[in-house]
Every structure is written in structure tokens, then in C-alpha cells.
Amino acid sequence: MDQSTLPMKQLRDRLPSLLEALEAGLVERRRIVRLCLLAALAGEHSLLIGPPGTAKSELARRLHAVFRNARYFERLLTRFSVPEELFGPLSIKALEEDRYERHTAGFLPDASVAFIDEVFKANSAILNALLTLLNEREFDNGSGRQRCPLITAIGATNEVPEDEVAEAFFDRFLVRVPVEPVSDAAFASLLEIDRNASWTPPAEAMSLDAGDIASLIDAASHVTLPAEVTAILGQLRGQFAAEQTYVSDRRWVKIVRLLRMAAASEGRPAIQLWDLLLLPWCTAPDGPRQKAVSDWLQARLGVRMAFSPPRLTRVVEAFEAQLEAELKANDLDYDESGRLRFSAGELAEDIGDAKGGASALRMTYSRQRRYGNLHIAARTGQIDELLARIDTYADELAGQFTSLSAYCAGSLWLDAELTGQVSANLAATVDAVANLRRRAAKAREGFLNLPRLPEDDGDVPLPVEHDALTEA
């Protein structure tokens, strides 16, 4: 291994142990822990949405222990909270000198990791000050701006903001995670936890210092954004626009930064499709809408919509319908009154003239249409092209399965529930495509066995019309 890459590998190897330490003793909080740590590594903030008593503050305190020499700040806000509680008291000495400055040591502008509980209960003056601090890591202190060492802030709330200022502040939290009480299935495990037992933070040697964070950020800056990932992001943006759901340009830029960090922390040079499973918590504001985004992604990741089973079904059905029509086609030509357009002499060659030509014109007669070699070759050739494209897509799906399996084996940030749903969708798609291929091959056999003209090669028919197997 290149010596230049060894420190980075050693850094990445510490992350699983850090995550394990953070999760110890927490029931059903794995996803929340990992999302918050990933956000912190990317320099972003997280918002935990849920009722009291669901381990939100405990998670924030533990996250603080991940970062070496990091200062921690925690406050519960109410509608009576004043700026001094967050930003520090006014300096009496500065006031005596006609300056308006605060003592920020030990308060939010001095913190590396912060937990702000019931964050939206603060008044607009506090929220406006927080906007600059969270987004720009700067605090307006008197006539100057103070640089803040904030790595990440975790907010907690039991309600979604409604006023304009609160909504702007809400947008500053890139990751927004609903926190529910422990499920009935895990309730027994919760009761077994000794809340009086002290949590053991990770050893200092395992924690992350400023150099580690800088190395991860530098590695993330070199992670590439593939075109296929950009395409999905564009499609999702269009979906939001169609639903009249606003996702700011700033948020899309931050999302890509988070995805780059997810890849870099796992030693990957590029963002993968599966990283997009992180998007629900970065784009949608609440649980129901996050589920809708998750469902949308799971139906598309690894699957080309041009070859989606519904569209491919319509294509195969077009060939099946054409085959049925050609099998039922009559070789004789009738006029509008139902009389044969052929002469009695022409009919005599096929049915004889026992009843005379005049009577033959009024006979009900049917003979299956026959087709020339050119016609049959055109039909089977068109299906051969379809079969080749289906086979290519089947190989592509197999490659996606391999990619997803490898991703799951090395993923730090996504759980088996999410990746399992994508895998199940891929498996269902594989089965559907295989079945449609069999139907297309059967239709080809049907065209190949059409009744043939004995000598005439016939004409080349117009191609069977069907849905285009191309991306919209």
C-alpha cells in the first residue's frame, strides 16, 4: 500500500469502532447515530424531531466525545430565553468603553459541538443570530465578527416550524431525522438497560482531532460525482418541483457534499447510486414525506426506467398482439357487402367449382393468410433486437446486484433495512424481465412458424409499433 494512503486508511478503520461506541446501550437508534455523525464529519447540522425522553440529548453528548478536545454546549430554549443564555453575557468593561460585546467563552460561539433543545421555541432575535452562526460559523460580537469553531450543531424539537424566520432556520439543518419512541418489539430490550450505568466514551486514541477532520474533508473534495447520480438527483428535483415542494439550491449543494463525505469515509473514489438512499433525511421535512422519497428512490436505484417492467410489458404485448392478428388474418379480400373480390376461376383453384362460380361468390370461405420470407424475417429480426437489448439489460441488473452487495459489505451509514428493500426491488425486476424475455422469445417462435407462401418472398411489413426503450 502507498504510504501516503496509509494514514487515511487507519483513520477510516477507526470509524466503525467509534460508531459502535456511540450506539452502545441505545435501543433502535443506530440510524440516527450514523446520520448525525456523518453530518458532523461533513460539517453539517442535524435536527432530531420527536417527543421528549427519546435519547436525543444523550446522543448529542455522546457525539461530542467523538471529537478530541472539542468544547460542548447545551441549552434548553423556551419562549422566555434571552440571547445571554446562548451567546454569553455583555462585557461590562466594554460597555464602559462604549462598546457592545459579549463574553462568549463557554457559550455557543465558543463551542465545537452544540445541542439546542426545543430550538424553535426561541424568539426571532435568537433565531436570526443563530442563522449566521450555523451557516457561516461566525458570530457578530460588537463591531466585529468572531470566528466560531463549531463542527456541528444538533437541534431537537417536537414541532415543525410554521413562521418564516423559523422555516429559514429549519433549512440550516441538512439532516432532519424523526425520532420515535422504542417499538413494541424492542420494548423488552429497553427495560433491560440500566440507565444508572455510566456510558464509556471511546478512548482518546480513537477519537477524531482537527487533523483527522481536515483529512476527511480533503478526501471528500476529490470524490467524483458520476453522471448517473447527477441524473437521479435531477429527476428527484423535478419530482419535487411537480409536487410544488421547495428544496433550495443551497441544500442540493450541501447534499452532494454529504454524499462525498459518505464515499470518502468508506474509501471510495466516487459517489455510488446507493448513497442516494441518504436523501430522504436531507430533502424531506418529516417522516411521511421522507418515506415517499425513500419509496421513489427504491423503485429507481439500479433500475433503468426505460426498461421498467410496466414499459417492457407494453412492448412485449405489442408483439403478442401483432402475432395474434397475423395468425387470425384471412387470406381472402372481401368488399363492403361481404362478397369476395376474387373471380370464380380464382376460387376454383382452392375450393373447386362444384357449385359453380356464381354461387361461389356468395360462399362463406376462410383461409389463413400466408406470409413471405421477407415478412417473417422482418418480424423475427425486430424481436431479435428486442431480445438483445433485454439480455444487455439483464447483465446490467446482475452488475447492479454485485455493486449493491459490495456496497452493503462496506457501508457505515446505511442499514440493512434500506439496502434490503432496494435489493428486493432489484430481484423483483430481474424476475419480471426474465419472464418478459420468455414471452418475447415465444412470440418470435410464433412469427417464425407463421404459414408461409410457397414461392413468393412477399413484402417487408412496417415495424411493430411500441413504447420507445429509451430514457425520457
pLDDT digits (tens, 9 = 90+) for 31-49: 999 999 999 999 999 999 9
Q: Write down the pLDDT at residue 334.
A: 46
DSSP 449: T
pLDDT band at 456 (very low <50, low <70, confident <90, very high): confident
- For residue 278, the model assigns a pLDDT of 97
- Buried/exposed code over 363-383 (b: 16+ C-beta within 10 A; e: otherwise): eeeeeebebbeebbbbbbebb
Give the C-alpha separation, 440 to 390, whole Å. Answer: 10
Where is mean pLDDT largest: 7-16, 88-97, 386-395? 386-395
Name the band, by pLDDT with cuts 50, 70 and 90, for residue 358.
very low
Query: CA-CA distance, 245 to 251, in Å (whole number)?
Result: 13
Alpha helices in 24-106 (DSSP H): 30-41, 56-66, 83-87, 92-96
Instruction: Tell me what the mean pLDDT of segment 445-472 comes to.
Output: 88
Question: Please, what is the angle between helix 6-23 and helix 30-41, to 10°?
Answer: 140
* Predicted model pTM: 0.84
Cβ atoms < 10 Å from Cβ of 197: 8
Say if CB 124 and CB 78 are below 8 A apart.
no
Q: What is the dihedral of CA 455, 456, 461, 464, to 10 degrees?
A: -10
Per-residue pLDDT at 366 = 61
Question: Which residue, chain included where needed, has cell 433503468?
Answer: 304
- Tens-digit pLDDT profile for residues 320-350: 999 999 999 887 654 444 444 554 445 455 5
* 3-class SS of residue 226: coil
Cell of 91: 462585557
Q: What angle do CA 82, 88, 93 make, to 5 degrees?
A: 115
| Lowest mean pLDDT across 146-150, 175-179, 209-213, 330-334 | 330-334
The torsion angles phi and psi of 263, rounded to 5 degrees, stand at -70, -45
pLDDT in tens, 123-147: 888 988 898 899 999 998 877 889 9
Task: Report whether pLDDT(160) > 90.
Answer: no
User: What is the distance between the alpha carbons of residues 109 and 228, in angstroms, rounded to a whole number?
Assistant: 40
Which of 43-52, 197-206, 210-219 comes out lowest in average pLDDT?
197-206
Q: Say if CB 204 and CB 68 are below 8 A apart.
A: yes
The band of 196, judged by pLDDT with boundaries at 50, 70 and 90, is: low
Q: What is the DSSP string of 103-130?
A: --TTSGGG-SEEEEETGGGS-HHHHHHH
At residue 448, the pLDDT reads 96
Tell me if residue 377 falls in helix, strand or coil. helix
Q: Residue range 442-462: average pLDDT?
A: 92
Mean pLDDT, the chain, whole residue set: 88
- pLDDT value at 4 more than 70: no
Q: How far apart are CA 208 and CA 409, in angstroms?
A: 24
Q: Which pLDDT does position 352 carry in this prediction?
A: 53
Nearest to 447 by CA among 329, 322, 331, 317: 322
> Strand 138-141 vs strand 113-117: parallel, antiparallel, or unpaired?
unpaired
Q: For the chain, which domains are there? A: 6-221 (3.40.50.300)
**Is it the case that residue 259 has pLDDT exceeding 90?**
yes
Q: Look at residue 173 and give its three-state secondary structure.
A: coil
